[in-house]
Chain A
């Protein structure tokens, strides 16, 4: 291979490194572009090593040199490959024949790291060092590590100032003949297989994380603290621990820590001022940063037992409500959302007002979730907040809130439910009707009866009519029985007779649902009614009453 060909090959390799640096940052490892770029880079190295044993790149601040020829030059500070290597002290990188594709990939991954943005405690030299490549070597200048250039010279000079007095050494030499022989009384016992086994057990024990240990030590600190400043510091340590633990997803450790803090808070002999520091930590465990991390954890797919999350939530205070609502709209997995909803069901009663703020969320599904939470909490104080949501633009929200109002009941809901029975949307009317059924009060019954008795009722759709009667049948009292019998007996007139027959048929249906056998006589009569619909529904109702189905 000619020298010029070599030079071109090296330049191509450097260009391949530059290209890979961009591609690796942009694409995931399974992306075809990513895969192809790595393959191309490896091919360039492999082709080069067909003819040579080694590729040595010298790193200058703004240049990369091969065989005294520049193969890369860039005077800019941004995107400067030479400077990228140079600033961490890298002065030479050499690749050897035998370089594997895995080594190329790992090297390019290291080179592609964005050290400015990513939170890493390593620089490029450390990463190369840790990877311990078999066929990639480097030379790094460690002078960048120290602040004082001449420390070594100064230290050695200091030592030399204490240089030996020849007389002292000779005196030691002379005295040695007079002193008794004192060879060392230390005996070295050779290492045995048992020692090695013990060592392996020991190393195995130590391989677990140290989070629990540091938490244990933090709980020693209150007893070693003396001043407010000590407790202030301790509080920040606990908070950092909380954050770290949540990042790691060690909820069991978190629960243990919060339990111990709760224990300290409930200790009668601990000063209230000191307890206030511990309370700050438990509050921190539910702040937005930590809850955000919880969200990431729940969405990560990591297996976490529900009861561990429940346990964690039990330690939280009302300040966690808003952050939990915030993540509710961001979570991607259904299970994660369920976990957060359950958390809010637990925490909501601690601060209904805070929970109600979630009803103002811009995302319809968050609002619907909050309404669901209110339903589950079943606190009548929620009604006043829910009533404001009845006019929500999203029908799914409206349906949920009407259902909630039905479950919560109370005098305040009737006016709204009555109005909803007049809504233009049949789904809302239906939801409202069912909500009234759920309330199951006299007032609710009256609203439905009035609605049926109302003249325009005959004009509504048959299915809707039927639903009214179905709901009404939940009140299994005499008044309803009479009300239904009266309707069934009602004569049809020529005009609108079909609509009236629909009402009568629904009444027959409801009598069947009511379960009162006294209705059999009237139903037997209407079984022979001129209206086919009434006949059919009467027949079905009789069967239901006679056979209980």
Chain B
């Protein structure tokens, strides 16, 4: 396949997903004979048949968060983002892993598939419903959503941990090097961030889980990496390309670099800061800009990093610090970093703020700041990403079980996956993960969150469970 063919295939694949999504959405509103639905089905049929005639067979498969067409991974583009997300959700909801078109199809075939697809959403066994209903549709097959094998998941977890700790170690090394005037290797920094981007694209929840572990002695380095991870994940939601995600991850990694110039006796002061000490703290954005500009010659990345270092404490309404004399437009990257920075800082035990907030509490405070301190649109994307109960939230379930949120749920934000740490009998357990979307035979949820708890109040170390 040459480059032109590859681009053509990619374009076709994106349009196919989009059109399928349009058809499914329309069919949820209109009946089968509606003109809009009929015309969108015709278009879909034409697209499928063209592709089938070129490729002989057309397999549309969902793996993780991505669709593949005939083994070709379809990259997301912003224009289709909502439709792609919709498709991922709807496929997952029905445990539908793949749809195969084996020959030329007709509008009636698609109509049957749609009906089966819609019926499945009311079924206890949605995939089986679809499979049964399309038994007589000759040219369409479906496959069940493949679950990650436990052993693989262990390997993946290991890789994610390695990526995370490599990043922290690298950040520590960079800061030490800058302090001692050594040259910093930007190539290595990019590699570190690229690994994080890969993990976010493939294992978002696991890497985000690493940011929820706050019980580290070396807050500064972990904070830099956490903000980097959170911004990459957010950037992905904003439809950024891999290259942009790397850039965003890089600028985030260095956003607090100015703090290395804050004297240790101030930075590590256990009690409240005096006004003078606050004045020093407030200088770190300026120092950060300078540190980055001293690091290497001007280029696009240096400039963007310096801008973010300078602006990340400037608020959306231009309050905050440093105070600019000229009215400036705060950069998009700065606004993204600002959200991630606040969230990670609020949920971490810093030297000058010993008591961290629980993730949901932090989110609730940040919600009040949206539109003033924080960019409301960015924050909206952020809340959609982390959910009502972000990873690391300690929750009491209505089953008298105590658990820790270990994976958020895009479709049902208040029904994340939870790791049970105390069972209904009041005994400590480890490793059992439950999905709060699970229902019993009466179609009622088996478990629901009753309340959130503050882990710091009880000195609970989340790392023991999330690592």
Which A residues contact B (CB, under 8 angstroms)?
A: 89, 98, 100-103, 121-123, 125-126, 129-130, 132, 134, 140, 142, 144-148, 151-152, 155-156, 158-160, 162-166, 168-177, 179-191, 193, 195-196, 198-200, 202-203, 205-206, 209-211, 213-214, 216-217, 219-221, 223-224, 233, 237, 240-241, 243-244
What 0/1 readout, one digit per residue, does chain B (5-38) give for beta carbons within 8 Å of chain A? 1100000000000000000000000000000000
Give the chain A neighbours of B163 by CB distance below 8 A. 142
The answer to whether B384 and A188 have CB atoms under 8 Å apart is yes
The answer to whether A188 and B383 have CB atoms under 8 Å apart is yes
Tell me the complex Cα distance, A508–B300, Å. Answer: 74
Q: Name the interface residues of B271-330: CB closer than 8 Å to any CB of A.
A: 286, 289-290, 293-294, 297-301, 303-304, 306-307, 310, 322, 324-326, 328-329
Q: Who on chain B is nearest to A115 by CB?
A: B187
The answer to whether A182 and B428 have CB atoms under 8 Å apart is no
Tell me the complex Cα distance, A172–B363, Å. Answer: 22
Which B residues contact A (CB, under 8 angstroms)?
A: 1-3, 5-6, 72-73, 78-79, 81-82, 161-163, 165-166, 168-170, 172-173, 186-188, 190-192, 194-195, 198, 213, 215-218, 238-240, 242-243, 246, 286, 289-290, 293-294, 297-301, 303-304, 306-307, 310, 322, 324-326, 328-329, 331-333, 360, 363-364, 367, 377, 380-381, 383-384, 387-389, 393-394, 396, 400, 402, 413-414, 421-422, 426, 428, 449-453, 455, 457-461, 463-464, 467
Q: Who on chain A is nearest to B188 by CB?
A: A145
Question: How many Å from the CB of B103 to the closest CB on chain A?
Answer: 23
Give the chain B neighbours of A240 by CB distance below 8 A. 293, 297-298
Give the chain B neighbours of A205 by CB distance below 8 A. 332
The answer to whether B213 and A184 have CB atoms under 8 Å apart is no
Asked, given contacts A199-B78, A199-B239, whether A181 binds B461 with beta carbons under 8 Å apart, the answer is no
The answer to whether A169 and B422 have CB atoms under 8 Å apart is yes
Question: How many Å from the CB of A246 to the closest CB on chain B?
Answer: 11
Give the chain A neighbours of B450 by CB distance below 8 A. 181, 183
Q: Who on chain A is nearest to B423 by CB?
A: A173
Asked, given contacts A155-B165, A186-B388, A202-B377, whether A233 binds B294 with beta carbons under 8 Å apart, the answer is yes
The answer to whether A184 and B388 have CB atoms under 8 Å apart is yes
Question: How many Å from the CB of A438 to the closest CB on chain B?
Answer: 50
Asked, given contacts A176-B453, A210-B331, whether A243 binds B460 with beta carbons under 8 Å apart, the answer is no
Give the chain B neighbours of A190 by CB distance below 8 A. 384
- Residue of B173, B195, B387 near A148 (CB, 8 A) is B173
Give the chain B neighbours of A169 by CB distance below 8 A. 402, 421-422, 428, 458, 460
Tell me the complex Cα distance, A149–B238, Å. Answer: 35
Additional A-B contact list (12), CB under 8 Å, known A179-B453, A184-B449, A213-B331? A102-B2, A148-B172, A168-B459, A169-B458, A180-B451, A183-B449, A188-B413, A193-B82, A196-B81, A206-B332, A217-B306, A243-B297
Give the chain B neighbours of A213 by CB distance below 8 A. 303, 307, 328-329, 331
Query: Can you pick out 29 interface pairs between chain A and chain B where the beta carbons lie within 8 Å of each other?
Result: A98-B1, A100-B5, A101-B3, A122-B190, A132-B242, A142-B163, A146-B169, A148-B173, A151-B165, A156-B165, A159-B213, A162-B461, A162-B463, A168-B460, A171-B458, A172-B458, A173-B422, A176-B402, A179-B453, A184-B414, A191-B384, A193-B82, A195-B380, A196-B78, A198-B377, A217-B328, A219-B326, A233-B290, A240-B297
Tell me the complex Cα distance, A177–B290, Å. Answer: 52
The answer to whether B461 and A163 have CB atoms under 8 Å apart is yes
Question: How many Å from the CB of A223 to the closest CB on chain B?
Answer: 6
Tell me the complex Cα distance, A103–B188, Å. Answer: 25
Q: Who on chain A is nearest to B389 by CB?
A: A184
Give the chain A neighbours of B186 by CB distance below 8 A. 121
The answer to whether B192 and A155 have CB atoms under 8 Å apart is no
Tell me the complex Cα distance, A89–B289, Å. Answer: 31
Q: Who on chain B is nearest to A226 by CB?
A: B283
The answer to whether A121 and B301 have CB atoms under 8 Å apart is yes
Question: How many Å from the CB of A290 to the closest CB on chain B?
Answer: 13
Question: How many Å from the CB of B342 to the closest CB on chain A?
Answer: 14
- Residue of B172, B294, B303 near A210 (CB, 8 A) is B303
- Residue of B328, B332, B364, B396 near A202 (CB, 8 A) is B332
Question: How many Å from the CB of A211 to the closest CB on chain B?
Answer: 7
Question: How many Å from the CB of A174 to the closest CB on chain B?
Answer: 8
The answer to whether B453 and A145 have CB atoms under 8 Å apart is no
The answer to whether B238 and A203 have CB atoms under 8 Å apart is yes
Give the chain A neighbours of B381 by CB distance below 8 A. 191, 195, 199
Tell me the complex Cα distance, A241–B289, Å. Answer: 13
The answer to whether B169 and A159 have CB atoms under 8 Å apart is no
- Residue of A158, A175, A181, A241 near B216 (CB, 8 A) is A158
The answer to whether B380 and A191 have CB atoms under 8 Å apart is yes
Give the chain A neighbours of B380 by CB distance below 8 A. 189, 191, 195
Give the chain A neighbours of B286 by CB distance below 8 A. 221, 224
The answer to whether B360 and A184 have CB atoms under 8 Å apart is yes
The answer to whether A214 and B190 have CB atoms under 8 Å apart is no
The answer to whether A168 and B458 have CB atoms under 8 Å apart is yes
Q: Who on chain A is nearest to B287 by CB?
A: A224
